[in-house]
């Protein structure tokens, strides 16, 4: 449980820095700050995934909530308007807790109002309930809820217009409305309720300001539409309830839906056998990224704005599924991505609108080999690998030998060349306009590490499956790649590896990518060089919350990830800290220095800052990035799949609880 008392809740500047997140296993979500003051365009009570896990629409932004006690009105809401927060409902908020879903406790004199919110797995459905306690017998109490609707793409903003439909239908305790009748793709929003009355409104609420969007240099003002008002008569211990959904529900379904979801959440942590609250929280966090795609599973790269990306999914898969004892989900994810292999490549991402996948990645395909190896190691299910993936892996190798998109092709030295002007193919993929910030064209160091690892995995499988032609080819290629790598990549002056080589060009930037040459199961680096690499990386890049993406001694280093999109993208891989890189860093340290108690203590120290981080930014989650400079403020997505996954992987793999 994560708990904040009135000291935090009554301080809007502190409270706005803490955001809760509910997800539904489809890519949909609900999210806001702990005081219900929306600071992002992505904050809402119901963002629905219309074509899971994409085509996401913010349908119900929030409720304006008013409690009336003996004729006196108390506003529980909070909104940022130009120059003012109004109303200031947080002054009544006694506490907020995540246990495991959001619970808000308001106090008005001796009266207590408890609000709960939970999403239903597998549905675009959010349940909101209000219960009062300690109401004097001679007092009268009611609740007014004004739903503020957006009904827009979740990346966009809505402004007052004449196209909205102010009408709604009422049938057996369900109010149904479609805000735009001429937009058939927009779903009908159903609000099941136990209100005593539904009253027409038809009002615009104007000029909501989203502070984080302004900080990000984006449009930050929105208007929202209120079609009707729900009025409830409140009695002690009786709940005023609303089910907001894209499918009709009856209000008497609430107990069943809540029980099913609570039992499901408990089942997430039990099989993994977590021994402490920190790991249990990470297990719960991991579950939020696993969502449906077609009849299989995939991984949302990050909330609130990412969809499913091939690279992120495959890097995160061992931590999200194998460390959590859910190998069947790992199989489902790999089967889904296997369906989309084209010209020997795994997709980089699936666009939000459901268009054809994009393939601008060189490393996602190579991570495919490693995740299959991890699955085999965890399950021993060699028949599943042979029946479903071996032919794909062999086909990928042949495509890389003869050449595929973006000049991805084995060079004469056995190393993998990739890249062309204007295209970003590695995980350092920031681009401002047509300018690729870290182009890394040629032979990036981690790509060679992944390529060699893929060849050695293929060698093992070819031997197991008695495929002599493939066995001979990959064995020879691996030997050539290793010889060339050690000849060309060692930077003796800095005692580490070059980041990229391309013909005579050698990029001596000190970046974290070289750590994969040690951390992957099959390595080309000897022990002496490995120690020097780790020392260099630790000296230049290690922070309490991850590895910097560039040495602070480099003149191109940018220590703050802030400002408009161009400013942020320019810093994204030029010094910004990424927590997911601690996974391979810790793995590399254990492989190099052994599994002594001293090294375990050091590993625990490296990840210790995240115990406190779970209570800031995205509650119960790990952020996407942090500033390179102290105090290393969190930024980017409030919840990032590989940030959570890599922590879970090393904690479970090396018994760091």
How far, CA to CA in Å, does 574 sit from each of 27, 131, 436, 570?
Answer: 30, 50, 12, 7
Residues 220-237: tens digit of each pLDDT: 999 999 999 999 999 999
Contact (Cβ atoms closer than 8 angstroms) between residue 545 and residue 577: yes
Question: At 268, is the pLDDT very low, low, confident or very high (cuts 50, 70, 90)?
Answer: confident
Residues 157-211: tens digit of each pLDDT: 999 999 999 999 999 999 999 999 887 778 999 999 999 999 999 999 999 999 9
Contact (Cβ atoms closer than 8 angstroms) between residue 111 and residue 132: yes
* Range 116-134 average pLDDT: 98
* Range 75-101 average pLDDT: 97
> pLDDT at residue 350 above 80?
yes
Residues 423-464: tens digit of each pLDDT: 999 999 999 888 999 999 999 999 999 999 999 999 999 999
Contact (Cβ atoms closer than 8 angstroms) between residue 470 and residue 397: yes
At 209 the pLDDT is 98
The dihedral sign for the CA sequence 16, 21, 27, 28: negative
* Range 58-72 average pLDDT: 97
The dihedral sign for the CA sequence 31, 351, 636, 332: positive
* Range 278-299 average pLDDT: 96
* Range 555-578 average pLDDT: 96
At 434 the pLDDT is 86
Greater model confidence, 487 or 183: 487
Residues 357-368: tens digit of each pLDDT: 999 999 999 999
Residue 597 has φ and ψ, to the nearest 5°, of -60, -35
Pick the range with the lowest mean pLDDT from 65-79, 123-137, 270-284, 501-515: 270-284
At 325 the pLDDT is 94
> pLDDT at residue 272 above 90?
no
**Percentage of the chain modeled with pLDDT above 70:** 100
Contact (Cβ atoms closer than 8 angstroms) between residue 546 and residue 579: yes
At 351 the pLDDT is 77
At 113 the pLDDT is 98
At 186 the pLDDT is 84
DSSP string for 122-165: TSSEEEEEEEEE---TT--EEEEEEEEEEEEETTS-----S---
State the burial class of residue 411 (Cβ atoms within 10 Å of its Cβ: 0-12, 13-18, 19+): middle
At 332 the pLDDT is 97
Instruction: Give pTM, 2 decimals.
Output: 0.96
The dihedral sign for the CA sequence 44, 46, 51, 52: positive
What lies within 8 Å, CB to CB, of 9 at 6+ separation is 15, 34, 35, 90, 93, 94, 95, 96
Pull the structure tokens for residue 107.
């106090």
At 274 the pLDDT is 75
What average pLDDT is seen over the chain?
96
């Amino acid at each position: 449980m994560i708990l904040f008392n009135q000291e935090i809740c009554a301080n809007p500047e502190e409270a706005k820095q803490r955001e809760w997140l509910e997800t539904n296993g489809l890519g949909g979500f609900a999210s806001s700050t702990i005081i219900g003051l929306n600071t992002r365009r992505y904050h809402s009570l119901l963002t629905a995934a219309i074509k899971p896990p994409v085509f996401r629409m913010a349908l119900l932004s929030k409720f304006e909530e008013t409690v009336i006690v003996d004729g006196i009105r108390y506003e529980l809401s909070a909104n940022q308007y130009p120059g003012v927060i109004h109303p200031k409902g947080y002054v009544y908020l006694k506490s907020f807790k995540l246990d495991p879903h959001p619970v808000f406790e308001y106090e008005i004199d001796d009266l207590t109002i408890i609000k709960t919110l939970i999403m239903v797995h597998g549905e675009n459905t959010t349940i909101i309930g209000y219960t009062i306690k300690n109401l004097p017998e001679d007092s009268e109490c009611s609740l007014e809820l004004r739903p503020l609707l957006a009904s827009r793409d979740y990346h966009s903003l809505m402004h007052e217009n004449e196209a909205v439909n102010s009408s709604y239908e009422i049938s057996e305790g369900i109010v149904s409305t479609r805000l735009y009748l001429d937009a058939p793709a927009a779903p009908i929003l159903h609000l099941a309720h136990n209100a005593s009355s539904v009253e027409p409104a038809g009002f615009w609420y104007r000029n909501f300001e989203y502070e984080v969007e302004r900080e990000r240099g984006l449009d930050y003002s929105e208007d929202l539409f209120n079609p009707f008002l729900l009025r409830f008569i409140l009695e002690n211990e009786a709940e005023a309830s609303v089910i907001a959904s894209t499918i009709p529900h009856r209000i008497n379904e609430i107990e069943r839906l809540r029980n099913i979801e609570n039992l499901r959440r408990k089942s997430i942590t039990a099989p993994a056998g977590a021994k402490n609250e920190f790991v249990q929280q990470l297990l719960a966090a991991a579950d939020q990224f696993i969502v449906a795609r077609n009849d299989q599973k995939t991984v949302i790269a990050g909330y609130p704005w990412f969809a499913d990306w091939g690279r992120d999914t495959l890097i995160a898969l061992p931590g999200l599924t194998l460390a959590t004892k859910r190998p069947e989900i790992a199989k489902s994810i790999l089967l889904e991505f296997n369906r989309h292999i084209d010209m020997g490549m795994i997709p980089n991402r699936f666009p939000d609108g459901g268009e054809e996948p994009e393939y601008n990645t060189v490393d996602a395909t190579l991570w495919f080999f490693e995740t299959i190896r991890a699955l085999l190691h965890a399950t021993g299910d060699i028949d599943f690998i042979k029946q479903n993936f071996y032919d794909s892996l062999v086909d990928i190798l042949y495509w890389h030998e003869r050449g595929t998109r973006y000049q991805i092709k084995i060079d004469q030295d056995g190393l993998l060349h990739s890249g062309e002007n204007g295209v970003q193919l590695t995980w350092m993929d920031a681009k401002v306009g047509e300018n690729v910030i870290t182009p890394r064209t040629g032979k990036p160091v981690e790509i060679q590490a992944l390529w060699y690892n893929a060849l050695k995995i293929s060698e093992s499988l070819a031997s197991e499956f008695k495929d002599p032609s493939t066995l001979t080819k990959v064995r020879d290629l691996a030997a050539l790649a290793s010889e060339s790598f050690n000849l060309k990549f060692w930077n003796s002056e800095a005692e580490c590896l070059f980041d990229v080589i391309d013909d005579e060009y050698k990029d001596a930037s000190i970046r974290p990518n070289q750590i994969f040459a040690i951390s992957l199961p099959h390595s080309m680096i000897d022990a002496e060089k490995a120690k020097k690499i780790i020392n260099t990386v630790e000296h230049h890049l290690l922070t309490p919350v991850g590895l910097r993406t560039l040495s602070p001694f480099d003149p191109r280093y940018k220590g703050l990830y802030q400002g408009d999109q161009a400013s942020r993208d320019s810093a994204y891989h030029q010094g910004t800290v990424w927590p997911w890189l601690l996974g391979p860093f810790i793995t590399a340290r254990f492989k190099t220095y052994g599994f002594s108690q001293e090294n375990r203590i050091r590993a625990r120290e490296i990840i210790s800052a995240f115990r406190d981080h779970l209570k800031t930014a995205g509650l119960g989650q790990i952020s996407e990035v942090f500033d390179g400079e102290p105090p290393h403020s969190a930024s980017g997505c409030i919840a990032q799949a590989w940030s959570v996954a890599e922590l879970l992987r090393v904690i479970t793999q090396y018994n760091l609880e």
